[in-house]
Structure 1
Amino acid sequence: MSFSLDDPLIQSLRGVLQPVVMDDDSHIPKRAGQRPASVLVPLVKRDEWRVLLTRRPLHMSTHAGQIAFPGGRTEAGETPGAGALRETREEVGVAEKDIHLLGRLASFNAVSDFKVTPFVGVLNPQAEIIPCVREVEEVVEVPFAFFMDKANHVPRTIEFEGISHQLYDMPWPEAGNPSWHVWGMTAMMLYRLYERLNP
């Protein structure tokens, strides 16, 4: 890969992320009917560090049209990290050998009855992005700095499991398309990353 593991951003991320290898059961679903899933927060070094995001097709049965990270349900016998890598290969065509996992964020309880573990990884900038047309309508790379700028965090409040939660939407104007409105769990993961890097 044509980036250095000594890059300041990579060093900062390694300092705030949890280890890739899990030594606890925090990622294991505890609620009845809840299923395990994992996603990759993919970073790639171009002219600057960027975050790769996908837009799901409108024909999808769940989360149609939403902005998301590559990811999905963890298969039986598969670790969450391996699941995130497999889903990234299946959705955007980047092989496991072209992804370097840096660590993970704490798992999220999704409204769709998944317990989702996000991993942060760096893509080989030479790797070709080949979206799976069944699962990905479009791919965009947004500057990482955009999501780390609090001025781009639009607050809103939702109710989940009887509790009010403060969330942040992150609309990306440069895509020139209002559908590139980063919200929901994708925005929550990015905001949690922002909090880790800006304590």
Structure 2
Amino acid sequence: MSLASLKTWLTDGLSSPDTWRADTRPTRSDFDLNPGALRWVEGPLKPAAVLIPVLATRDGASVLLTRRADSLARHTGQIAFPGGRLDTGETAVEAALREAREEVDLDPGLVQVLGLSDPYETGTGYLVTPVVGWIESEPVLTASPDEVAEIFRTPWDFLMDPANHSRDHLESTDGVRRWFWAMTWQERYIWGATAGIIRGLRARLYGDEADVADAVAEDAA
């Protein structure tokens, strides 16, 4: 698929930013592979947003990702999109662009927002809106040392290929398994909510090739 075709495909397949609401219900979640699991956090979900920056360059389409700083109190060293909790009065688009500026110094003027992917509930109690942005000018990026240890790119085709998606798990001390989606690009292990959001974007754009319930049954066997 050419870059022009991909851009059109994304624009047609995503929701308009004008449809965003802070109180929308999640379409996908950390619990999709764990049916029946209790929510880990009580109370209403906290609105958040991430930017999925699609870089359109002569080498083809790639997606900007970060590795979180080792000094952070939570999610240390995990792979993530730029993003975070919404400030009061912010929309998802505004928050995603602000966080990208704060984390990797991405100029919002370089980002053409194409639309929104499916809202995603995390196990930590956030309702995350993925904002897909298109970038044609090569950005000059600088990682915020307090938040980001590394900035890297992963080919779009790799992330969208279900052959690269696997189901992995963590096991608690009482023997309960928590399942999640994962994908490994080179030495980087993309998992949890980030992988779930990528998986959700892939399903929205191209269709979901397997029923989640069947996947769960297969893993539980």
Shared fold by TM > 0.5?
yes
Instruction: Report the equivalent of 2:100.
Output: 88
TM value normalised by structure 1 = 0.84
Does residue 143 (structure 1) correspond to residue 155 (structure 2)? The answer is yes
Task: Could you tell me which runs of 5 or more consecutive residues in structure 1 were left unpaired when the two chains were aligned.
Answer: none
Q: Give the C-alpha shift of residue 124 in structure 1.
A: 3.8
Distance 1:158 1:18 in 2: 33
* Alpha-carbon distance in structure 2 between the residues aligned to 1:110 and 1:91: 20
**What amino acid does structure 2 have at the position aligned with 1:12?**
W
User: In the TM superposition, what is the alpha-carbon distance from 1:53 to its structure 2 partner?
Assistant: 0.4
2:64 & 2:106 partners in 1: Cα distance?
11
Q: Distance in 1 between matches of 2:67 and 2:205?
A: 26
Q: How far apart are 1:65 and its partner, in Å? A: 0.5
Deviations 1:32-66 (A, max 9, x none): 25321100011101211000000001110111100
Residue of structure 2 in register with 1:53 after alignment = 65
Task: Give SS of 2:71's match.
Answer: coil
1:127 aligned residue (133, 136, 139): 139
Larger radius of gyration between Structure 1 and Structure 2: 2
Deviation >4 Å, runs of 4+: 23-26
Map Cα deviations across residues 155-183 of structure 1 (whole Å, 9 max, x no partner).
Answer: 23689xxxx9864211112xxx3xx1000
CA distance in 1, matches of 2:23, 2:161: 29
Alignment of 1:1-199 (within 5 A): 7-22=4-19, 24-27=21-24, 32=43, 34-46=45-57, 47-156=59-168, 167-173=180-186, 177=187, 180-199=188-207
Does structure 1 conserve the Cα–Cα contact (< 8 Å) formed by 2:22 and 2:47? Answer: no
Report deviation, 1:125. Answer: 2.7
Identity %: 35
Q: What is the DSSP-based 3-state SS (H/G/I as helix, E as strand, rest coil) of the residue aligned with 2:19?
A: coil
- Name the SS of the counterpart of 1:51 in structure 2: strand
Kept after mapping to 2: 8 A contact 1:27/1:36: no
Q: Alignment length, in residue pairs? A: 185
In structure 1, C-alpha distance between the alignment counterparts of 2:10 and 2:111, rounded to whole Å: 15
Q: Which runs of 5+ in 2 are unaligned?
A: 27-41, 172-176, 208-221
For 2:82, give the aligned amino acid.
P
